[in-house]
Amino acid sequence: MPKIAILSDIHANADALTVVLQKCADLGIGEFVSLGDIVGYNAQPVECIGMVRDLNWLAMVRGNHDEFASNTDNDVVGFNPNARVAVLWTRAQLSIEDRAWLHSTPMRAMVPNCNTTIVHATLDSPDNWGYIFDMHHATDSFHYQFTQLCFCGHSHVPVSFEKRPLAANGERSIDELTDWTFAADEGEDNYDFTIADELKVNIKAGYKYLFNIGSIGQPRNRDPRASFAVLDTEHRTVTRYRLPYDVAAAQAKIIEAGLPERLAARLSNGS
């Protein structure tokens, strides 16, 4: 299949995941890559595992919520109080088989036959759960990227960088692809979040690319729509899709499950 869906940070949001998988079906996509964190934060971890477990996965990696929901560490170091509550609640919902499946995925992986690496956090130390937010972090990451493409998640904030081939003076130049990072201005009331949107990046020969594709289940770029990407290996493009879904339904399930109200409230404004 020339098109591969790149999914990240589903975070137990079955309402958002349903819309994304339907879009994949509409696009004729039958092969998938997971950047991790299938569970955590939201109220439908079992349902989301059931929805994705039998998809045709080319490669998968483990996220920090997958890690702690599938192990027996009750300290849950590095999580804020709300996230910790959600992790422990999630662990209690999962079967032994679900937890084993989540824990079976590696920290980083290669996607076969497309010169692509995937990781949830960072390539240099994926189990330290660091973030890539800016040019400084991207520069560090490129030192460890030995494929043309790398996809990561974890921050829930879409950001992308392009690294040019070696220049004549021996310097390498890295640019942020600012359109990819677009978000509504804080406090903006006129942005229409109800329209499906997409952004395409052409992959140029000799260049390297680092993509954070954002989050399906808990966006944090002030755009509440579910975000995922499609790698087209035939036309050499990466396209990020942003899809509206039933946010109120997901929020109601969080409240009904007894999870912190903050986890429901943040879905409305993508924070």
- Give strand ranges (E) for the chain: 3-7, 31-34, 57-60, 108-111, 116-119, 149-152, 159-163, 174-176, 197-202, 208-212, 226-232, 237-243
Residue 254 CA to residue 238 CA, distance in Å, equals: 33
Angle at 78 between CA 12 and CA 247, to 5 degrees: 25
For residues 25-52, average pLDDT: 97
Confidence band of 196 (pLDDT split at 50, 70, 90): confident
Residue among 30, 34, 36, 33 at smallest CA distance from 11? 36
pTM: 0.93
pLDDT of residue 172: 63
For residues 238-245, average pLDDT: 96
At residue 166, the 3 state secondary structure works out as: coil
Structural domains of the chain, ranges and CATH numbers in brackets: 3-269 (3.60.21.10)
pLDDT of residue 179: 87
For residues 136-155, average pLDDT: 94
Q: Is the Cα torsion angle 235, 177, 268, 10 positive or negative in sign?
A: positive
* CB 8 within 8 Å of CB 62: no
More confident residue, 185 or 92: 92
pLDDT of residue 113: 93
pLDDT in tens, 117-131: 999 999 999 999 999
Residue 13 CA to residue 27 CA, distance in Å, equals: 21
pLDDT of residue 167: 62
Residue 164 CA to residue 219 CA, distance in Å, equals: 29
End-to-end alpha-carbon separation of the chain, Å? 35
Confidence band of 166 (pLDDT split at 50, 70, 90): confident
Residue among 215, 140, 145, 211 at smallest CA distance from 176? 211
pLDDT of residue 74: 81
